[in-house]
Amino acid sequence: MNRLVAVSTRESIFSEYQESPIGLLLEYHNLDRPLDEYANAQLLIGMCMDNRKHLRLPDNFAFIIRSGGANLRYSEFKVSYAIAIGGVKAIALIGHNNCGMVNLMSKRESFVQGLVENAGWNREKAEDHFELLAPMFEIGNEIGFVLSEAKRLRLQYPKIQIAPLLFRLEDSRLYLINELQPAI
């Protein structure tokens, strides 16, 4: 996690995000900035569906798409809608540590058994479901995936500012990810 940059003051926000919806998101959530009023969304937030994360935001400030691992690959129409119709100019892509989509293949048996017990599926249907879809949603590691997804989205939407962030469950804070720092 050597790439994580704590946001504890306004000055610790990367300069490219200051005076932008990304900077405001960080100020609202981490710095307890008073919540302003908005009539229209200022940004799109793509974040994991995990129930352990909650953001402090003003009403109407953001469109939010929740998907396992903050994977927006299969939500591109929704992303395009937020840009084309909603007018957003920025995307905050928020991964989190201890994500269930990391090492998804190791959860195969629990997944299959859960569908059998909780959903009433037969074992074969549950196994086929996992085998078909798990590879599309597996993310290697949280930071690496958020960085690769930010890169992919930047190619798709070159005029949109895209910020890769990480939510740490231990302190419920958002962290900037230093894209220039090599992974260790």
> Under DSSP, is residue 146 helix (H, G, I), strand (E, B) or coil?
helix
Identify the DSSP state of 102.
B
Sort strands 4-6 and 62-66 into parallel, antiparallel or unpaired.
unpaired
pLDDT at position 180: 83
Residue 155, pLDDT above cutoff 90? yes
Q: 4-100+140-177: which CATH number, 3.40.190.10, 3.40.1050.10, 3.40.50.300, 3.40.1350.10? A: 3.40.1050.10
Least confident of 59-63, 99-103, 125-129, 130-134: 99-103
The Cα diameter of the chain in Å comes to: 55
Render pLDDT for 34-81 as a digit per residue (tens, 0 to 9). 999 999 999 999 999 999 899 999 999 999 999 999 999 989 999 999
Kindly list the domain boundaries of the chain, sorted by start residue.
Answer: 4-100+140-177, 103-138
Render pLDDT for 85-98 as a digit per residue (tens, 0 to 9). 999 999 999 999 98
Tell me if 39 sits within 8 A of 60, measured CB to CB.
yes
| Mean predicted lDDT score pLDDT of the chain | 95
pLDDT at position 67: 93
Tokens of 61: 């400030």
